[in-house]
Amino acid sequence: MNVVSNSSPLIGLSKVGQLNLLKFLYGTILIPPLVYDDVVIRGEGRPGSCAVKNAVDTGCIKVVPIVDGNNVPPRFAGMGEGEAIALAIEQNSEFLIVDDRAVRNYCNRIGLDWLSTGGVIRDACQTGYVRKAKPIFDQMFSEGFGIWDYNDILRALGEIT
């Protein structure tokens, strides 16, 4: 499976010790250089930095440069989101893991499939890697990370009515 991630999902999953779910669920995750820089270089000392660096060092996450800068949407130029979209296009990715509403809307307009961080946890529940989503979501909330599709996912999983 070929999956690209933006910064936010990497940080959110790292905050709650669940970054490894990406490898279990989707194999090696691809990220563009700006996402790596955002999380590891500029984010040094902040949540996600060490976990993402370790995942890159062990090959669980692979940093892949953008081949054609024209694939970066002008609205997201110079941003990790723009490179993530471009990388997903160039790599013919199954989907882009992203939470930003503007990026999700852009992906919908161009027909690029996306998955939220909450969707990753949902997939982990559905495949048996984790038992329940709600405790993970609640831990994410306590770490200051919001899950915009919280209620929809918990309803779909039967964890709330």
What pLDDT digit, counting tens, does each position of 56-103 carry?
999 999 999 999 999 999 999 999 999 999 999 999 999 999 999 999
Percent of the chain with pLDDT over 90: 98
Give yes or no for a contact between 115 and 148, defined as CB atoms under 8 angstroms apart.
Answer: no
Q: Is the pLDDT of residue 47 over 90?
A: no
User: CATH topology for 3-117?
Assistant: Rossmann fold (3.40.50)
CA distances from 13 to 116, 147, 150 (A): 11, 11, 15
pTM (two decimals): 0.95
Tens of pLDDT, residues 103-144? 999 999 999 999 999 999 999 999 999 999 999 999 999 999
pLDDT of residue 94: 97
Q: What angle do CA 143, 5, 109 make, to 5 degrees?
A: 110
Give yes or no for a contact between 5 and 11, defined as CB atoms under 8 angstroms apart.
Answer: no
